[in-house]
Structure 1
Amino acid sequence: MKFASLDQFLSEGKTALAKGPLALVFAEDPVELDTTIRHHLDAGFPQLALFAPDAFVLPAELEAKIHRIPYDVDTVEALVEAVNKVIAAAPGIWLYYCYNAEYLFHPFCETRNIREMLAFQTEERRDALLSYVVDLYADDLNDFPNAVSLERAHLDKSGYYALGRPDLSNNGYPKDRQLDFFGGLRWRFEEHIPVPRRKIDRIALFRTKPGLVLRPDFTLSDEEYNTYACPWHHNITTAIVSFRTAKALRSNAGSRFDIQDFKWHNSTPFTWHSQQLMDLGLMEPGQWF
């Protein structure tokens, strides 16, 4: 269904907002927009809303399966504003957001859908999941100048690390069960990445509630939502494999001519399988065996 505005979607999109889980896809450009939508529908999201300019064309059969809202995603703040409006309009549902050319993976997603995982997470009394945004990039920038190729996608198999997240309200002591994660292209080419955008963790899948607010650093106003695990054992984490950083580094004039290749000795082909992400420590099944 097509809506004239975000406000109309929030007032009339009862089907999407009533139950969830609801996926929000924000299109910064048309690159791999159709595959992004198909991936998340196949993952088991019963409802998906696309925020994109009208100029971005989709196949008719795909348009029929989604809710479409005209929207310019020109800044992170634009995404945050839209997500927060959806949170306020639809309390109590599981909500997910991502950009185009980003693909959510959860443990065992080849045989278990997103609704099954969220049912288990609910039984664990957890209202959010930590996602690692794992950079993907094409293996040859001469063949793929925008660094995007699903068939020849690569990722870094090492070079990831975490630092304690300081609590500025408590003399800078680390927050309980919260870490800032780094790695991938944002780490290897950090001189081209603003400091606030270097971390790769994102709370992208969570249960909405009254008063909850998404912040520009992709954390939420309820600090328990930002934890990687509960106090008593490990919990599920997810991964969002993403061409977004590679695309930005290739389109930005300040970095495009400084980077001839994204491949290095720790690059490996991405198999598009959850087991690879778990083997690399980029996703955690927790107690969900």
Structure 2
Amino acid sequence: MHYPDLTALITDRKRALAKGPVALVMIEDTVEVASTLTHIERCGFANIIAFAAPDIAVPETFDRVDRPVLGDADLVEIVNAVINAAPGLWIHYCYNAEYLFFPFCEHRNIAEMTAFSLEERRNSVLTYIIDLYAGDLSAAPDAVDRDDAYLDRSGYYALARKDDLGNALERQMDFFGGLRWRFEEHVPWKRRGIDRVSLFRAAPGLQMRADRLFNIPEYNTYACPWHNNMTAAVCSFRTAKALRRNPGSRDVIDNFRWQNSVKFAWESQQLFDLGLMEPGQWF
């Protein structure tokens, strides 16, 4: 279905948002659009909705909404509109050239994962943004190459997240690493974090804030009080693309690889082994 705007999608929510989990894919440019949507489809989402400017092509087998997504507020507006329209629905959001990996995703689907999360009384799953980048920038000037993709195997760390008074928030942390850490001089402070609550269950009164955290604090936690919970990863070329497109960084970066780069295997076990995702109590 092709919707002319966000309002049309929400009006048709009894069809478009009748069943979950649903994936909201923000299409910023033409890079790896089809592969992103196909990967999400293989994860087992009940519906996939692409949001893109009218001049960007999207495969006709997927729902699309004509809606530019380049502004900082666009994601927040879209996510909050869907939350309001479909309470109880599990939602995942991502951008093109980003690929969701969750525990045992090669053998289990996203509906099984969210069902287990509900059994653990969890309404959100913390996802880490793991930067991907091409191994050879001369062959892939935009830093995107699925067949020669690399990631950092180390250099990740976390700091306690604090409230406005400087007090540490319970079970909330800010996570850093990847390209945003190694090339931090080219990345604004507010964009350096690699944690994202990009898989969650819509609820009455829930809203995404401008900082992309949620107004219900428990949604922003990495685990429940009594044991560790599963986490997931969004393996993303997005930061590499931005660093190559920005004139200030492109002219000084001729290679993203370093001594701690490792080729991405496109499988969840590698993310387990590197400590970038954990199954929690799900076996």
2:104 — aligned with what?
Answer: 108
1:125-147: per-residue Cα shift (whole Å, max 9, x none)? 10000000000000011000000
TM-score norm. by structure 2 comes to: 0.98
Deviations 1:17-51 (A, max 9, x none): 12211100001101000000000000000101000
The AA in structure 2 aligned to 1:25 is V
The counterpart of 1:63, out of the listed 45, 60, 65, is: 60
Gaps of 5+ in 1: none
Task: Map 1:14-25; keep pairs closer than 5 Å.
Answer: 14-25=14-25
Alpha-carbon distance in 2 for matches of 1:132, 1:141: 24
Q: Which deviates more from structure 2 when the two are superposed, residues 214-223 or residues 230-239? A: 214-223
| Aligned residue number for residue 134 of structure 1 | 130
CA–CA distance in 2 between the matches of 1:25 and 1:177? 28
Tell me the equivalent position of 1:176. Answer: 170
Equivalents in 2 of 1:222, 1:19: separation in Å?
Answer: 23
- Do structure 1's residue 271 and structure 2's residue 268 form an aligned pair? no
Amino acid at match of 1:55: D
Name 2:88's counterpart in structure 1: 92
Instruction: Please tell me the residue identity of whatever aligns with 2:4.
Output: A
Structure 2 counterpart of 1:63, one-letter code? E
| Rounded Cα–Cα distance in structure 1 between residues aligned with 2:259 and 2:200 | 36
Match of 1:206, SS state, is strand
Q: What secondary structure is seen at the aligned counterpart in 2 of 1:180? A: strand
Of 162, 165, 169 in structure 2, the residue corresponding to residue 166 of structure 1 is 162
3-state SS of 2:259 partner: coil
CA distance in 1 between partners of 2:214 and 2:223 (Å): 15
| 1:159 Cα deviation from its structure 2 partner | 0.1
| 2:278 aligned residue (239, 263, 284) | 284
Contact 2:20/2:47 (<8 A) preserved: yes
Q: Tell me how far 1:86 sits from its aligned partner.
A: 0.9
Identical positions, percent: 57
Residue 12 of structure 1: how far off its partner (Å): 1.2
What is the deviation of 1:54?
2.2
Unaligned stretches of 5+ residues in structure 2: none
RMSD: 0.9
**Residue 221 of structure 1: SS of its match in structure 2?**
coil
> 1:4 corresponds to which residue?
4
In structure 1, the residue matched to 2:219 is 225
Distance 1:218 1:262 in 2: 27
Verify the 8 A CA contact 2:13 2:85 in the aligned structure 1: no
Contact preservation (8 Å) 2:24, 2:48: yes
1:204 aligns with 198
